[in-house]
Amino acid sequence: MDRVDLAVVGGGVIGALIAREAVAAFPGATVAVLERGMVGQGASSRSAGVHFPRGGTERVRSMSAYSQGVWEQLAAELDLPIRTVDATVVSSGDVDAVSPVYVRLGDETVPAGDWAALPGARAWDLDGCHHADVQAVAGRVLAGLRDRVTVLEGTEVTELSSDGEYHRLALGPGRELLARRVVLAPGPWIAHPAWVELVAPLGLRVKKVVATHLEGAPAPGDPLVVFHDEDAFLLPLHERGHYLFSYTCDRWDVTPEDVGPVLEPSDLDDARAVLGRFAPGLVDRCTSGRVFCDAYSPHREPVVAELLPGLVFAGAANGSGYRLAPAIAAETVAALDLTPTGSTSPLLQRQT
């Protein structure tokens, strides 16, 4: 039977960053990423990939600042599809009310473009923002690790059990893997039968996430506009030739199988209603979009939690799993002891 020091279940952006962090911290460790489909094709494939230096709590602000540094470094090292973008934040609160949420606010700015701040709201420049093709980022991070990490795609973990020293992962009929440590990074697949009971005490829920697309190319230099009060943003996607509008969809307790890839008419109606408040001229251009779901935690901070000795859950980043992935990965690997014991053998890719 094959054995590894660490099995990472889930090849999304969070699983990819955890694998990278694990081999950086423990260069001798044997690591496998187990992905049911293809790398990056879960929630990561639908992500708007926006990073802003933002956080509703001190821990999230600190994770956001840490992650920004890692993304900037990795973007240069791995030539990742990450694009910096000028940004404006609009809020009805004053600077004091907004600044605890946003790490760096610049000068007060004069709104320009197709949107207008609501009466009484003000707008400020916001430094440090970028957006990414998250599916491609996950793929490229793992591509750079292939000499050190075994990536098994099309491989579903169907059962999990523990016998003290090792965790046993069933990988479909007749195939098993023993792992000293396991990280579950399943994105919104928190209710998989293999771990639903283990994860239940965390109190996670899955929410639908929607971002609509607006017909028509953005003008050069158009900024990302963050509407703080509405928890919405308007992102120019020059490389795709359209705007993306993200708003807060309030549909809870869905499953990845429920939401599928297709927008419901009510998704467009809801997006248009929010967009119409500050950009009525754009409403008719809001004609399509992307939809999926994400795992949310009760306290709205990402979860890194040891569920059994040596078995850690990582994720539930509340719709911010791209921008916080490096910090989630660092916390996860800090919670694992991967010091080689000499009792493991490299993963052999064969049927047992």
Ligand X SMILES: Cc1cc2nc3c(=O)[nH]c(=O)nc-3n(C[C@H](O)[C@H](O)[C@H](O)COP(=O)(O)OP(=O)(O)OC[C@H]3O[C@@H](n4cnc5c(N)ncnc54)[C@H](O)[C@@H]3O)c2cc1C
The residue ranges that bind ligand X (CB under 6 A) are: 9-15, 34-37, 41-44, 46-50, 134, 156-157, 185-189, 192, 194, 209, 211, 290, 292, 294, 315, 317, 319-323
- Minimal distance, residue 120 CB to ligand X, in Å: 27
- Minimal distance, residue 44 CB to ligand X, in Å: 3
- Minimal distance, residue 277 CB to ligand X, in Å: 20
CA separation for the pair 140, 248 (Å, rounded): 29
Please identify, using beta-carbon distances, which residue of 174 and 342 lies nearer to ligand X: 174
- Minimal distance, residue 235 CB to ligand X, in Å: 8
Q: Between 134-143 and 13-25, two packed helices, what is the crossing angle to 10 degrees?
A: 30
- Minimal distance, residue 201 CB to ligand X, in Å: 19
Please identify, using beta-carbon distances, which residue of 178 and 185 lies nearer to ligand X: 185
Please identify, using beta-carbon distances, which residue of 14 and 80 lies nearer to ligand X: 14
Please identify, using beta-carbon distances, which residue of 42 and 139 lies nearer to ligand X: 42
Please identify, using beta-carbon distances, which residue of 23 and 34 lies nearer to ligand X: 34
The sheet with strand 232-237 has its strands ordered as 105-108, 122-126, 87-91, 224-227, 232-237, 242-246, 205-214, 286-296
- Minimal distance, residue 314 CB to ligand X, in Å: 8
Please identify, using beta-carbon distances, which residue of 245 and 292 lies nearer to ligand X: 292
- Minimal distance, residue 135 CB to ligand X, in Å: 8
Please identify, using beta-carbon distances, which residue of 75 and 116 lies nearer to ligand X: 75
CA separation for the pair 9, 310 (Å, rounded): 14
